[in-house]
Structure 1
């Protein structure tokens, strides 16, 4: 049974984003769950393995495959069933290895911000003690890469998803908007008047790409860069910040 589960934030995939606490957690873990998301995303598993090796961990690796979401189901039901299945696969992967001791899972970004790992952990039948080791968020990596502050003086910041931006448009009263999990370049559906965008992909890595400027001028360029990068690497993780005024 998984009695102690450590969720270790690994930033945006650079070994240098792992905190000293994260390094220590990986060294002390007995088992590390290792997700695989299909052939085209094997590079993500390779990055996790490089981070694990760089930490000096001797933990046993328990690989598992991510399930697919059923697109025919309503969104909330689709996600709930997907999370149930991921929890089952965590347990099966751990049981196959059978090593006693703490179990670690390396989480892209930070498991406490816009991530479902904690919700999945709550589905484990053993109800393990969960420890969260925070990591560098994509938001931190983005603002650092562009050398900009997240907020204006006394300004409000909202964090949302591409889906919500497509469905609801620009939130009323928002000044700064951070958009995550947007695979469809939803910013192209906004009225670009007065909006500036700061976009980045593969943040903090050697493949990092950035673009910023008035949304009306760079919207198509970002969409093109994103499509080309995804074709080249087989995967992409990106985020962006929009600011009015």
Structure 2
């Protein structure tokens, strides 16, 4: 039996626009013979369909797509410790699924890949899951990461802005931490994973500007920008309509503080 490690490519494929694929991503896709996808049910089948179209255009002929259901995740734990425990539990169960798929579907010495939305190094669990699998010692892995265009970069490009201003930092945070800690001193804030519309807590201020986007890079893209006190209600309505229509929503936004809203 071969003891060669299984090679796993973690390929960033951009925020949704197939043209966001980098040349490095296309070359990496052509090296893999098996692609692993954890599905998230019928509501997000369009994401799997988009992966298939990318593979049909760029992967080597004869590639195999191996799918499994993404484990359920507890999203009800509200405090920080409970949230972290829920995420670690979910990642471990994800590792169980991925380890089985890699062992059963990817022979030693062969190359497989995970196609990751945006950039694998920004708010994605794939690398942590593979680290856990490698740490278990039951499957020998060689992991290579191919960076991609993140939703944050795509958001800034679509709004034709830079994330930073001269002499000011930019903070990236999940909405949960924004609610707990506020924006911080002298920092503009990029907010990810906001299920509860945390931006509304600043909607009564005159010095906050928002650049918001949902489904960025896809045909369903929605963009709104402006003084937060003027557009917060519109964004909330658009989010509700989009979630009802698609069954899910992926959005990101930049809050820029210290800009007088005329």
Give the TM bin, normalised by the shorter chain.
over 0.9
1:3 is displaced (CA, Å) by: 2.2
User: What's 1:185 paired with?
Assistant: 197
Instruction: Find the partner of 1:50 among 50, 53, 56.
Output: 53
**Structure 1 match to 2:160:** 147
Superposed CA deviations along residues 2-53 of structure 1, whole A, max 9, x for unmatched, are 6211100011122111111111111110211012001211111111111111
The number of equivalent residue pairs is 244
Aligned residues of 2:106 and 2:112 also touching (Cα < 8 A) = no
Residue 10 (structure 1) aligns with? 13
Of 41-50 and 210-219, the range deviating more from structure 2: 41-50
CA distances 1:110-155 after superposition (whole Å, capped 9, x unpaired): 0112222211110113252211100001111001101011111122
Give the Å deviation of 1:231.
1.4
CA deviation string 1:70-90 (max 9, x = no partner)? 346611111111111111111
Partner of 2:65: 61
Counterparts in 2 of 1:147 and 1:172: CA distance versus 1, 3 Å: same
Distance 1:164 1:145 in 2: 26
Aligned equivalents of 2:192, 2:169: Cα separation in 1: 17
User: Normalising by the residue count of structure 1, what TM-score does the alignment of the two structures yield?
Assistant: 0.93
User: Post-superposition shift, 1:165?
Assistant: 1.1
Q: Is the 8 A contact 2:6 2:107 kept in 1?
A: no
Q: 1:2 to 1:222 in 2, by over 3 A?
A: farther
Alpha carbons of structure 1 residues 198 and 16: separation in structure 2 relative to 1, 3 Å:
same
Higher Rg of the two aligned structures: 2
In structure 2, the gaps of 5 or more residues are none
Matched, 1:25 2:28: yes
1:95 aligns with one of 92, 100, 103: 103
The TM-score with structure 2 as length reference comes to: 0.88
Cα distance between partner residues in 2 of 1:38 and 1:69: 13
Q: Residues 141-181 of structure 1, C-alpha deviation per residue, up to 9 Å, x if partnerless?
A: 0011010111111221111111111222222332x110011
Indicate whether 1:122 and 2:131 are aligned.
Answer: yes
Contact 2:120 2:147 in 1 (8 A): yes
